[in-house]
Amino acid sequence: MKYFREEREKSRIVCLLCRHYCKMKEGQVGICGVNKNENGELETLVYGHPSALNVDPIEKKPIYHMLPGTTALSFGTVGCNFKCPFCQNWQISQETKVNEELYVSPEKMVDLAVEYGATSIAYTYNEPTIFYPYAKDIGVIAKERGLKNIFVSNGFETPEIIEDMCSWLDAANIDLKSWNEGYYKKVLKGGLEAVKDTLRLMVKEGIWVEVTTLLIEGENDSDKDLEEMVRFIADDLGRHVPWHLSAFHPDYKMKDHKWTGLETLMRAKKIAEAAGLYYVYLGNVPVHGDTHCPDCKELLIDRTGYSVTLNRLKDGKCPNCGREIEGVWS
């Protein structure tokens, strides 16, 4: 696809990578800091230039319902289209200086994944939609070589990008950071309605979706907000969509804010389960992230930290009652 459209009468291009739809004059850079109007074309300045690269358990993304117990080659670049004051990767997400001395071609990135025994590639650490041209070129090759592709994203992709990515992207973990449009716009510099639309579109396009909410006490953890989030997930996305409730820890511009207590996470989990969500997991706290059969409650996958210590699924089904468990298991 073409990642921009032209506005000839104003000599500008409109970036189609995220819902900011930045309008850029010649030489101008978008809100993300890494996409530029270069001679009337969109140039992704971070193309080929990762700033962080690791081999992680897939559970760390977190993705719990795809290839449990495997690893993902995970990488990100500099730049972001949000300004979250609690960002845990702010050293790269809020940076725009590109290290051009380091170049990893799409082919080489896939080679690295194969070399290190990863079964998937995760586009993560910063917002992957801002380096979508690079991600797609990697992802298409990865898919041809039998690897899965995962986006870990703030959910600000454009409909144009979502339509394009469904041909090569297997799964996405999308942040649902708040249930307050004003907070999204004023503090995060994004938009709640856009994120909700992205989630609906990804599910509709057949991308496996899991949702993460970083709970910050006093910011996004009221019973009312949690109940409405759960209702949205259950009614608009499906009761089968996993919801990861993660504990906040002080970082970046919110170092004076307290850690999220386990009792807050448990309260949110009870609200989610009472509303009928099948799979609710807690993150950033020392508890098991087990998967149980929604019907017979049989223990299917035992997770301790990021390690899978037991996986009893049989061809994606509960071995006790035969219920198909939603996810990507092969």
| Percent of the chain residues past pLDDT 70, beyond the cut | 100
List, in sequence order, every residue forming a beta bridge with 29; answer none if it has no partner: 36
Backbone φ/ψ region at 206: left (φ over 0), alpha (ψ -120 to 50), beta: left
Amino acid letter for position 11 = S
Provide the number of structural domains found in the chain.
3
Of 229 and 8, the structure prediction assigns the larger pLDDT to: 229
**Residue 211 in this model has a pLDDT that exceeds 90:** yes
pLDDT of residue 46: 98
Residues whose CB falls within 8 Å of the CB of residue 241, separated by 6 or more in sequence, listed in order:
203, 209, 210, 211, 233, 277, 279
Residue 330 lies in a domain: no
Residues whose CB falls within 8 Å of the CB of residue 14, separated by 6 or more in sequence, listed in order:
4, 5, 6, 7, 21, 22, 23, 24
Q: How confident is the model at residue 189 (pLDDT cuts 50, 70, 90)?
A: very high
Same domain? For 250 and 308 the reply is: no
For 62-79, what is the mean pLDDT?
98
Same domain? For 202 and 316 the reply is: no
Same domain? For 219 and 272 the reply is: yes
Same domain? For 239 and 306 the reply is: no
Same domain? For 140 and 269 the reply is: yes
Same domain? For 102 and 17 the reply is: no
Same domain? For 281 and 302 the reply is: no
Q: What are the phi and psi torsion angles at 171 (to 5°)?
A: -150, 160
d(C-alpha 190, C-alpha 1), whole Å: 24
Task: Specify the CATH number for the domain of residue 121.
Answer: 3.20.20.70
Same domain? For 141 and 226 the reply is: yes
pLDDT of residue 10: 76
Longest dimension (CA), the chain: 65
Q: Which residue intervals of the chain are DSSP H helices?
A: 90-93, 106-115, 132-144, 159-165, 181-183, 192-204, 223-232, 262-274
Same domain? For 60 and 36 the reply is: no
Same domain? For 220 and 170 the reply is: yes
Residue 316 lies in a domain: yes
**Residue 8 in this model has a pLDDT that exceeds 90:** no
Q: How confident is the model at residue 64 (pLDDT cuts 50, 70, 90)?
A: very high
Residues whose CB falls within 8 Å of the CB of residue 88, separated by 6 or more in sequence, listed in order:
249, 251, 252
CB 300 within 8 A of CB 318: yes
Which residue range(s) make up the domain with 28? Answer: 4-43
Same domain? For 36 and 141 the reply is: no
- Over residues 140-167, the pLDDT tens digits come to 999 999 999 999 999 999 999 999 999 9
Q: Kindly report the average pLDDT of the chain as a whole number.
A: 97
pLDDT of residue 107: 98
